Amino acid sequence: MRMYDIILKKREGGHLAPEEIRFVIEGYTKGEIPDYQMSAFLMAVFFRGMTDEETGVLTQAMAHSGDMVDLSEIQGVKVDKHSTGGVGDKTTLIVAPIAAACGCRVAKMSGRGLGHTGGTVDKMESIPGMRTSLSEKEFVEIVNRTGISVTGQSGNLAPADKKIYALRDVTATVESIPLIASSIMSKKLAAGSDCILLDVKAGNGAFMKTTADAVQLAKKMVAIGEQNGRKTAALITNMDYPLGNKIGNALEVQEAAATLRGMGPEDLTEVCLALAENMLFLAQKGTPAKCRAMAWDAICSGRALEKLAAMVEAQGGDPDYIFHPERFGEAPVKEDVAAPEEGYLQDMNTEGIGISAMMLGAGREKKEDAIDPLAGIVLCKKTGDYVKKGETLAVLYTSEESRLKDAEAKYFESVKIKGEKPKKEPLIYARVTKDGVEEKAD
Ligand code: URA
């Protein structure tokens, strides 16, 4: 078999045989296939796509490229969730403790942020002492003891995805449905949970810009999960504006803690309740209405907040930061961004706002960049809100004054103020299961 022939076949729109796909993944993981050939292959897939069968084989090959985590030592139903990535998306820090407080076992591996999207691991690391690199043994022990652990992706979990994702990131081949589906699902299959809830973001801050594309992606991932014996469902959620009001690592932990005390922003609370309801439903905890009530009760009783604190403590962090998030303090440099005119906040370019937060130090431009845990943005107005000239639209935080000017310019470039009130978009567009697509009415 020759890599050249496989690239050519895909370039011409052909269907690859399972052994050809396995040859590519094994060869690339071992370093036998060079980056330039893999890049050409990825671009061919980007333009020609893959059948469901090809995507399924690709996912399996990537999942088996490294360790398959054994969670059999954990008693009870293991549930996992995964977001396709967005801005202000701190849902894992809220939904995972809710699910654990309702009797599920949450053994979750999360990633770091890159570019305009944030990552749960970076957010957790803003808590002093918090460890996000756990051995499999410790991970399993913490889940058995507290019901929940969120850790970074272990070194040898789906290494093919790690290599391929890094290459996609620099070859403009990220936004491909078969490549995203296989990337996410290979990690989810290798991570070993029984139930998988996917949060597929749609909008200008997501990889899938339209709901139609997000539904396509969700259908593929749900099918892959079910074919591999995992109960899988997806919610298609709005990423045309940031989720919640805080963007940045410590800022997002603060907002997650507030939401777990029942004092979070309305959009974030609603998305988290919907995700928690669906996780509990997959774990067969009852009807959707009962699962929703259980999730809300976990918040109102304080049990979910206690679960988050228990996980933080078990992973070496100071749980007092969860009960008293004001302990994080504020970044030394703070700037109010004033509305240049009066009107409705018409449109937010969510990716642009994520980049502005990154420019303040909340994210990395390059993998090796350090994160400023206190940097970020607090949004005072969001799409649909009315603002007076000079009123504060947002507050920017950073530890380095020199970062402010460009970040502020990026923020301004990303918001539009106009005379008429924009149409309210739904927060949750649809639910995708093995039985089909259920559109959600707002
Ligand atoms: N998240 C992933 O893990 N992989 C992708 O391809 C896109 C988002």
Q: Which atom of ligand 1 is nearest to the CA of 85?
A: 8
- pLDDT tier at 93, thresholds 50, 70, 90: very high
Active-site residue flag, 161: yes
% of the chain beyond a pLDDT of 70: 99
Task: Name which residue sits closest to atom 3 of ligand 1, judged by CA.
Answer: 184
CA dist 300 and 413 (Å) reads 39
Left if phi > 0, otherwise alpha if psi is -120 to 50, otherwise beta: which for 219?
alpha
pLDDT in tens, 20-63: 999 999 999 999 999 999 999 999 999 999 999 999 999 999 99
pLDDT in tens, 166-185: 899 889 998 899 999 999 99
Confidence (pLDDT) at 442: 57
CA dist 442 and 439 (Å) reads 10
Q: At residue 247, what are phi and psi to the nearest 5 degrees?
A: -125, 125
Comparison of pLDDT for 35 and 136, the residue scoring more: 35
Closest-CA residue to 162 (of 43, 60, 63): 63
Confidence (pLDDT) at 92: 96
Question: Which sign, positive or negative, has the C-alpha torsion 386, 375, 206, 353?
Answer: positive
Coil, helix or strand for 395? strand
In DSSP terms, which residues pair with 233 in a beta bridge? 197
Give me the catalytic one of 187, 219, 403, 431: 187
- pLDDT tier at 155, thresholds 50, 70, 90: confident
Left if phi > 0, otherwise alpha if psi is -120 to 50, otherwise beta: which for 401?
alpha
- pLDDT tier at 223, thresholds 50, 70, 90: very high
CA of 229 to the centre of ligand 1 (A): 21
Write down the pTM of the prediction: 0.94
pLDDT in tens, 242-274: 999 999 999 999 999 999 999 999 999 999 999
- pLDDT tier at 441, thresholds 50, 70, 90: low
% of the chain beyond a pLDDT of 90: 87
CA of 180 to the centre of ligand 1 (A): 5
The CB-based long-range contact list for 299-304 (8 Å cut-off, 24+ gap) reads 299/98, 299/259, 299/260, 299/261, 299/262, 300/262, 301/101, 302/261, 303/101, 304/94, 304/97, 304/98, 304/100, 304/101, 304/260
Q: Which atom of ligand 1 is nearest to the CA of 179?
A: 6
Residue type, 435: D
Question: Which sign, positive or negative, has the C-alpha torsion 94, 98, 100, 101?
Answer: positive
As for ligand 1, residues whose beta carbon falls within 6 Å of it are 84-85, 165, 174, 179-180, 183-184, 207
Residue 171, both tokens: 């070859």
CA–CA–CA angle 366, 371, 376 (5° rounding)? 110
Residue with tokens 């504020």: 330
Q: Is the pLDDT of residue 142 over 70?
A: yes
Confidence (pLDDT) at 25: 98
CA of 174 to the centre of ligand 1 (A): 8
